[in-house]
Structure 1
């Protein structure tokens, strides 16, 4: 069976469009989405609401019930729900960098957190408010006190860094120091 030139071109065009659609769906969009920290939390989830049932002043040091409640609370923080539809997307997100690997010249692994001092204080933010950033090759973090904006492909991947549990990872493509956010 011989196809006409017009029909052959049409079928090739449909094939190319279909292939591009499949590629976009499997690899995420190539358009960078500017996100805010609230975009990393499912609707109805509130990190502030997590604290509502926990009055630490009701317990004394060494109180077994207080210890049990603390462990329960930490488990809730470490398993906070994420937004599955973000997996594989190119995003940008402002925050503060907390280096985990590297030195003053190059940091290859760091946490991005929504406010200065997060993860240094106990307890850390919920895991859906912590992003583990992989920077290959390493990048220079100018100062820990200034906010940065990172860009890259985000993944749904829970990681225990020893400091905190991150609900997301990001393969860094760009980092810049910003004035405020």
Structure 2
């Protein structure tokens, strides 16, 4: 009996420390938006509609003229309240007194929101991480785990259709790939 209890406790402990499976960015986008993205022509970053506009505070917003899917805030209801692990790149927004990022966008590819146009709002996740994470390089991919919420967020840099209360943030390591 004691041995069964010990094995059970070890199993529970290992499950508690197991990583959540990776969530694919496309899981955050309704099928209709996925189809529209597949059919969208390649964006030429030198074209007028790709240039975006700077806001008064210096952020870059999309200018009108791109296909509607690039502005989509359509979400997947089944993702609301779900525990996920999402890989992506940080776009810092706020930091604590030690310089650790406590609020940032997570985006699916490096340089998003720096180049234009930013990803559609349903491909941007606002991450709240009160513990903070040191971000030395925005081109270092992160794993972010926590509870995803459908929440429309707008700031001077971009708009997001989701927010995530992170319980864990860590850099992606070679062995993760």
TM-score, structure 2 normalization: 0.68
* Residue aligning to 1:133: 127
Which residues of 2 match residues 1-181 of structure 1 at below 5 A? 32-46=20-34, 48-49=37-38, 51-52=40-41, 70-73=63-66, 76-102=69-95, 105-179=99-173
RMSD: 2.9
Q: Residues of 2 paired with 1:142 and 1:59: CA distance?
A: 33
Q: Call closer, same or farther: CA 1:137–1:126 in 2, change over 3 Å.
A: same
Task: List alignment gaps of at least 5 residues for structure 2.
Answer: 1-18, 50-62
Task: List alignment gaps of at least 5 residues for structure 1.
Answer: 1-30, 61-69
Q: Residues of 2 paired with 1:139 and 1:150: CA distance?
A: 11
Q: Residues of 1 paired with 2:108 and 2:44: CA distance?
A: 24
When structure 1 is superposed on structure 2, of 148-157 and 137-146 the one drifting more is 137-146
Q: Residues of 2 paired with 1:87 and 1:79: CA distance?
A: 17
**Superimposed CA distance per residue, residues 34-74 of structure 1 (whole angstroms, 9 cap, x where no aligned partner):** 201111112242363463397788879xxxxxxxxx51538
Q: Residues of 1 paired with 2:103 and 2:40: CA distance?
A: 29
Question: Helix, strand or coil for the counterpart of 1:77?
Answer: helix
Question: Helix, strand or coil for the counterpart of 2:115?
Answer: coil
Count of residue pairs the alignment pairs up: 142
Q: Residues of 1 paired with 2:166 and 2:27: CA distance?
A: 19
TM-score, structure 1 normalization: 0.67
